[in-house]
Structure 1
Amino acid sequence: MTKFPKDFLWGGATAANQCEGAWNEDGKGISIADVLTCGGLAKHTAALPDVPEAMKKHIAKMRGVTYRSGDQEGAAMAFKMNTYPEKGIPALLDDEYYPNHQAIDHYHRYKEDLALFAKMGFKCYRMSIAWTRIYPQGEETEPNEAGLRFYDNVFDECLKYGIEPIVTLSHYEMPLALTLKYNGFADRRVIDCYVRYVKTVFERYQHKVKYWLTFNELNSVVHSGFINAGVFSKDRRLIEAASYHQLLASAQVVRFAHDHYPQFQMGCMIGVSPAYPYSCKPEDNLAALKQNQQRDTYYPDVQMRGFLPEYKLIQLQQEGIRLPILPGDAEILSGGCCDFMAFSYYQTSVAAAQDEAMQRTAGNMGSFIFNPHLKKSEWGWQIDPIGLRYTLNLFYDRYHKPLFIAENGLGAADVLNADHTIHDPYRIDYLRQHIQAIKDAIILDGVKVFGYTPWGCIDLISCSTGQISKRYGFIYVDVDDAGHGTLNRYEKDSFAYYKRVIESNGEEL
């Protein structure tokens, strides 16, 4: 092969909780995303207990989970489980700004947005269904028809333009009611709630959707049990139990799809930041291997291979953690292997045997040892196009199944000029380098990649900070971090660039 495949799926990616808004309209229930603040605007976060004063300014910029604990109110860091209170209950607080409530109002403007995606030439659109639009509390016996009808309309609009929907079933937006009653997926009974929801949307959209992802970035539970699995706790035992229950839930719905809807293609989705060893010292190489196992490969190993790997079981045994494994679970996992692997890729990481004193920088779902050979974005995320080629080889060699790049992109503080133009050459340069890396992996390495959906094809709410000023899109949305603005849409320079890339099937970079 000397080019991208003719049927390569070019598109873009969003998540319902970060773009739809309309958080309480048409019967929608409250999701875990609806109690997340905007970093820099949360009035509680800087007052976290047990946090050094030198750290509070930095922490105040990060996203929080608002809660009540007795007669006290506060906000824990969304991606720092050690800040979660022992007896706090996630809750909506008065006079707090929750950016997901409005987001970019995609719920009312989806036709306008999809028309812009079609103008760019999208072949696919990776999106998610908000669980709470279908089952508002998570345990109802009958779904919410208004929610089902909304996604019927979205899928119909996609198909009108020849855009293939690629749907994430759970993207950081499970019902808050399941957290309050069961502590999310820490309780095995939540598997049944998830399976009921998935069966409902499978039946409803079987003729409109072919590609499905069971969970978004399932490995993010390492950093946030709440955002990932609805677990508001710092207890590692509960976090590992929730992660295990999600793996079981994924396997159950994959097997159900294979048995009842053979036309479906079922995928897992992982957030990957593969670790390079800090040096050629054997100890650093072993540290990189172990970090990759813990953060990146355990979850797809289960979902693609169908069993719990020995390295994970030994690690848990050494930590005194026992997974809630029941008879028959092994058969569930082995019978629910995914057809393809999807992943988000923003940067690589670095691992060292002794890393306590090393300089660190920000990254997706955590901080990383600074790599002096790489440049950084405005938010401190290091940029490594070659690392994407490395990642594609890593996972194709491991599973030898098709790969799909579900997220990749550059967050930047774009400027809307007086003539409504937005010049973002830095994003174009980022895209060019990363698409070339994909092309090299396909042509030079023989990796089977069937699609690419850059993250935030339209500006939306950032998961890590809650800001919209951290913009990823090809389309600028006129709204600020406090939710003020016209919400009008404007094409950036990268819009025209990506349109040319798609028209040429990756030949014009």
Structure 2
Amino acid sequence: MTFNEINSAMEFPALSQGLIPATGANDYTNRFQAWHHQFVASALAVKIGKSLRKDIQIGCMQIYAPLYAFDCNPENQFASQFKQRAFDYFTSDVQVRGYYPTYINQLLKQYDADMPIMEKGDKALLKENVVDYIGFSYYMSMAINETSSEETDPAAGNLMEGVRNPFLEASEWGWQIDPLGLRISLNELWDRYQVPLFIVENGLGAKDTIDENGQINDDYRIDYLAKHIQAMADAVDDGVDLMGYTPWGCIDLVAASTAEMSKRYGFIYVDLNDEGNGTLDRKKKKSFEWYKKVIASNGNSVTSK
């Protein structure tokens, strides 16, 4: 995969482009220009990779989050469609299809940006060197409300702007938990592109505690992953070509989104706090042995009826 979560620059360009306000992040012209450089670099990587090995598979990698209209109001329907094009589809449209989508003009207008400057041969390079598959991270879905209804609350999650979906529970950090949304996402991506898909990140950030017996019983993480793995299996039954799944992540580490150690994702606990204090000792959580069984059974221990 050529760039990790390449579309994240729509919301936080420091993560995937290295742009901060001091280097022009607040000007969307710079973000779209940086994307163009990334698209060209990705195409060059595909070209070089294919010249070295004919059997190699090279993919893109993005965040994917289904964006639901909060209600049947056509304004919200359109707003969710626009947001989904901007966040979920723009980068993959270029990397999978090999050209800028026709809605690029509306994106540039919305974000007050200029069309990226392109060198001679860039368009041909993009067209001739598309990726073979789509890798993506999936953590949540979002609801979009543009009608300023007083009945909706802003979502507490720090990934994208949106409102709280009353039909979903949320993590301790406000990320809305939506296993069915993963099945929806897989079907949407497959229907749009007809290329294999690879879920390369999926997990629950949570505060884990060690009990009086020295155990970490993270049943909430097991429940989250089990439901998402079942949704993945259901999508395969729908006809989706899914080439792989890897959770985020194997071991606790500092969360990129909040710079906290206490937002833990791993199957292995690391003794370290948000201030950087601790022994760094490792300890298996309950989810560790559970996921070993998932791997050994190719998911059947979760999805068998």
The interval holding the TM-score normalised by the smaller chain is over 0.9
Whole-Å separation in 2 of the counterparts to 1:415 and 1:469: 10
Alignment of structure 1 residues 255-334 onto 2, 5 Å: 255-317=47-109, 319=112, 321-334=114-127
Aligned equivalent of 1:354: 147
How far the C-alpha of 1:320 sits from its partner, in A, is: 5.0
Q: Distance in 1 between matches of 2:11 and 2:149?
A: 19
**Equivalence for 1:474:** 267
Name the residue aligned to 2:245. 452
Q: Corresponding residue for 1:218?
A: 6
8 Å CA contact 2:59–2:133 kept in 1: the answer is: yes
Superposition deviation, residue 418 in structure 1: 4.4
- From 15, 31, 37, the equivalent of 1:227 is 15
- Partner Cα separation in structure 2 for residue 325 and residue 277 of structure 1: 35
Is 1:483 the counterpart of 2:276 in the alignment? Answer: yes
Q: Aligned to 2:68, what secondary structure does the other structure show?
A: strand
Find the residue that maps to 1:423 and give its secondary structure.
Answer: coil
Q: Which runs of 4+ in 1 moved over 6 A?
A: none
State how many pairs are aligned.
Answer: 296
Whether the 8 Å contact between 2:28 and 2:113 is mirrored in structure 1 is no
Give the CA deviation at 1:432: 1.0
State the distance in 2 between where 1:363 and 1:306 align: 33
Distance, in Å, in 2 between the alignment partners of 1:290 and 1:239 is: 18
Structure 1 or 2: larger strand share? 1
Distance 2:196 2:94 in 1: 16
Change in CA separation of 1:402 and 1:320 when aligned onto 2, cut-off 3 Å: closer
Distance 1:438-1:471 versus aligned 2 partners, 3 A rule: same
Q: Distance in 1 between matches of 2:76 and 2:162?
A: 15
Residue matched to 1:410: 204
Q: Sort the Cα spacing of 1:462 and 1:356 in 2 relative to 1 into closer, same or farther, 3 A.
A: farther
Query: 2-side partners of 1:477 and 1:417: how far apart?
Result: 15
Instruction: Report deviation, 1:484.
Output: 1.1
Instruction: Give the match's secondary structure for 1:382.
Output: coil
3-state DSSP of counterpart to 2:63:
strand
Residue 380 of structure 1 aligns to a residue in which SS?
coil
Query: Which one of 478, 494, 501 corresponds to residue 294 of structure 2?
Result: 501
Checking the alignment, whether the CA contact within 8 Å between 1:274 and 1:348 is kept in structure 2 is yes
User: Which blocks of at least 5 consecutive residues in structure 2 are unaligned?
Assistant: none
Query: Secondary structure at 2:230's aligned position in 1?
Result: helix
Is the Cα contact below 8 Å between 2:7 and 2:88 reproduced in 1?
A: yes
**Structure with more relative contact order (C-alpha pairs < 8 Å, separation 6 or more):** 1
- Is the Cα–Cα contact under 8 Å of residues 420 and 490 in structure 1 kept in the other structure? no
Q: Which residue of 1 aligns with 2:170?
A: 376
Secondary structure, counterpart of 2:192 in structure 1: helix
SS of 2:300's equivalent in the other structure is coil
The answer to whether the aligner puts 1:363 opposite 2:151 as a matched pair is no
Cα offsets for 1:76-132 (capped at 9, x unmatched) = xxxxxxxxxxxxxxxxxxxxxxxxxxxxxxxxxxxxxxxxxxxxxxxxxxxxxxxxx
One-letter identity of the residue aligned with 1:300? S
Q: What is the CA distance between 1:413 and its match in structure 2?
A: 0.3
Maintained 8 Å contact 2:69/2:80: yes
Following the alignment from structure 2 to structure 1, what is the Cα–Cα distance between the partners of residues 148 and 185? 23
The alpha carbon displacement at 1:360 in A equals 1.1
TM-score under structure 1 normalisation?
0.56
Please tell me whether residue 465 in structure 1 is matched to residue 258 in structure 2. yes
Q: CA deviation at 1:271?
A: 0.5
What do the CA deviations read for 1:288-325 (whole angstroms, capped 9, x no partner)? 11010001100011111100001013431563512112
The offset of 1:251, in angstroms, is 1.2
SS in 1 for 2:135: strand
What's the offset of the Cα at 1:406?
A: 0.7
CA positional deviation for 1:356: 7.6
Alpha-carbon RMSD: 1.5
For the residue of structure 2 that corresponds to 1:276, the secondary structure is strand
Aligned to 1:394: 188
Identity of aligned residues (%): 45
1:442, 1:449 within 8 Å by CA — same for their partners in 2? yes
d(CA) in 2 for partners of 1:304, 1:492? 39
SS in 2 for 1:451: strand
Q: Kindly state the Cα deviation for residue 359 of structure 1 after the two structures are TM-superposed.
A: 1.0
Question: Residue type of the partner of 2:45?
Answer: V
